[in-house]
Structure 1
């Protein structure tokens, strides 16, 4: 009887570990388009403000896969159907900063905070009739991808770059990029505002960009510790500056993780 109980407890423990490992993989398996910068990336870098939660976790725009037949609802495509990230669906009067592009080959880079077994990376573009002052819907998009990159279940690198052949367009448009996961029911979504033949535009004049300055924001936070665990939104000070964590991290030194890394400087102290 005692041996049977031990076996049952061992099985239960193994099952708990398996579930925990699965949840950890899901928590880390995130990513976003960083070049050209997606709306998520622009919010995370501080170039666009008043973005809400997405500023701290640009990699988390995860929603049901199956686009265009399924997936997020129209008007919620840029947020992946996530209400906490609804700021990404707000067209801001068509004033999201744009990246200047031309027809022909253009590289697109995804940044992953970790790697998921991948089905495809798909890229869609808006029609000539696209109105950038309105929330994105399926009617705005050509629903056949302009590029699709099959991975066959392989895990991507921490950065993935694709060469996409952009069609002829004029003026402001949107590239809708989708990272389709192979072993879950979800995908990750990124909206990239571009301007064919434009000068790159600028931030919404009602939401001016912020840059790390000397106003002391975050300077009352505790000192960074290499052994501590930090979650999204946690603030620390290190090396005469204040930083905010964009996602879970430990052991990563502030000021060394790069523009798209976990630590974002909020102020000089």
Structure 2
């Protein structure tokens, strides 16, 4: 009997040892990035860089790490975002810039912090409330020249923040790529509001395929409708759900 009891105890201990790392691992969370002016991870997701960004191209919304970092990666595993020797695309703007976030999960927010070339430039109070899915914040008085703006989205009820870096070329008399601080992001692929179906027309987008990989901005046709991918997606049937990976563009 004692031998059986010892065997059971040993088996239980082994099982506990296997489960412990799983219990200690944080739950995967992926929840927001800057889409205008396009951030580094956004350019990666669009395939707009001249180099391979690695895994971040599939998860631009996933740059999450403990609060307090001033790295573009936040100290996460996406260290490619910290490499300033890479030829990151720059957006030409004026001295006033509206930064727009796309949130795939609206976490209660403590604050949004904007760091210009590593120095805190502006803070927006989140009020410990859930923000809308599209957040716009306008920064004024930026100096001319080439700069990198790191934005840190501090979550109210966790120890983590989300990080997004934007590379800018600021010129006097330049334009604001945003829409003046509203909560709707600008449309770069069509002059029509993406949430409003257009009039019926020719279906120019290729048919959606469950095996194809779609990046943010890619279009596909499905059941007589054209949809635009909001972020990286594969195997998700196009539909116009509020938090889904697809947005209805119009009818074929």
> Normalising to structure 1: TM-score of the pair?
0.56
Alignment size in residue pairs = 171
Structure of higher CA gyration radius: 2
Counterpart-to-counterpart distance in 2, 1:115 and 1:149: 16
1:37 aligns with 2:38: yes
- Contact persistence 2:210–2:234 (CA under 8 A): no
Secondary structure at the counterpart of residue 153 of structure 1: strand
Residue number in structure 2 paired with 1:165: 140
Number of the residue aligned with 1:263:
233
Alignment of 1:91-110 (within 5 A): 91-93=84-86, 95-103=87-95, 105-110=96-101
Output the CA distance in 2 between the equivalents of 1:159 and 1:264. 23
Aligned partners of 2:32 and 2:214: how far apart in 1? 16
Which protein has greater RCO, CA pairs closer than 8 Å, 6+ apart? 1
Distance (whole Å) between structure 2 residues aligned to residue 157 and residue 257 of structure 1: 21
Looking at structure 2, the residues matched to 242 and 255 of structure 1 have their Cα atoms a distance apart, in angstroms, of 18
Q: Distance in 1 between the 2:52 and 2:62 partners?
A: 17
- Give, in whole Å, the separation in 2 of the partners of 1:86 and 1:255: 36
Conserved in 1, the CA contact under 8 Å of 2:64 and 2:162? yes
Cα gap change, 1:62/1:160 in structure 2, threshold over 3 Å: closer, same or farther?
same
Is the 8 Å Cα contact of residues 61 and 190 (structure 1) preserved in structure 2?
Answer: yes
Structure 1 partner of 2:154 = 180
* Equivalence for 2:178: none
Q: Report whether the alignment pairs 1:86 with 2:79.
A: yes
Aligned-residue offset at 1:242: 5.7
CA RMSD across the alignment: 3.2
Deviation at 1:168, TM superposition (A): 1.9
How far did residue 91 of structure 1 move?
Answer: 1.8
Select which of 21, 26, 29 maps to 1:27.
Answer: 29
* Distance change (3 Å), C-alpha of 1:91 and 1:163: same
Could you say if the C-alpha distance between residues 264 and 111 of structure 1 is closer, same or farther in structure 2, counting changes exceeding 3 Å?
farther
Alignment correspondent of 2:200: none
Determine helix, strand or coil for the equivalent of 2:128: coil
Q: Report what 2:116 is aligned to.
A: 125
Structure 2 unaligned blocks of 5 or more: 1-22, 175-205, 217-221, 236-252
Cα distance in 1 for partners of 2:215, 2:161 equals 20
Contact 1:62 1:187 in 2 (8 A): yes
Equivalent in the alignment of 1:197: 171
